[in-house]
Amino acid sequence: DQQVKQNSPSLSVQEGRISILNCDYTNSMFDYFLWYKKYPAEGPTFLISISSIKDKNEDGRFTVFLNKSAKHLSLHIVPSQPGDSAVYFCAASALYGGSQGNLIFGKGTKLSVKP
């Protein structure tokens, strides 16, 4: 039973355009959400996060949107660059629900940005 779902295994975008990566979750106790980026043969690196008291968090070209009623979050990358080509993982945590910092990860979306 997947609590965090990334329904698109892959996404292809033209350089300079917007990339939108989506993530859905089922557990209403989740209150903190993170996005990680992973290049082949490397560990995931933290990209951006958002708490459940916000609906948007922005960091440079990266913006995460949270829609709590729909249990949906998305990562927008504008403009997309070839170096953004990687696998992106969505993760969630129930901090106030006693998860003690454990993260539940989605299966990832492979983003390809074409020059």
Partner 1 sequence: DVKVTQSSRYLVKRTGEKVFLECVQDMDHENMFWYRQDPGLGLRLIYFSYDVKMKEKGDIPEGYSVSREKKERFSLILESASTNQTSMYLCASSFGTGLGHLAKNIQYFGAGTRLSVL
Give me the residues that bind partner 1 (CB under 8 A), please: 9, 32, 34, 36, 41-46, 49, 51, 89, 93, 95-96, 100-103, 105-108
Minimum gap (Å) between residue 58 Cβ and partner 1? 16
Minimum gap (Å) between residue 46 Cβ and partner 1? 5
Task: Select 10 or 28, whichever has its Cβ closest to partner 1.
Answer: 10
Task: Select 40 or 83, whichever has its Cβ closest to partner 1.
Answer: 40
What are the residues facing 112 on neighbouring strands?
12
Question: What gap in Å lies between CA 82 and CA 14, rounded to an integer?
Answer: 9
> What 3-state DSSP class applies to 96?
helix
Strand ordering across the sheet containing 62-67: 4-5, 19-25, 72-77, 62-67, 56-59
Task: Select 42 or 83, whichever has its Cβ closest to partner 1.
Answer: 42
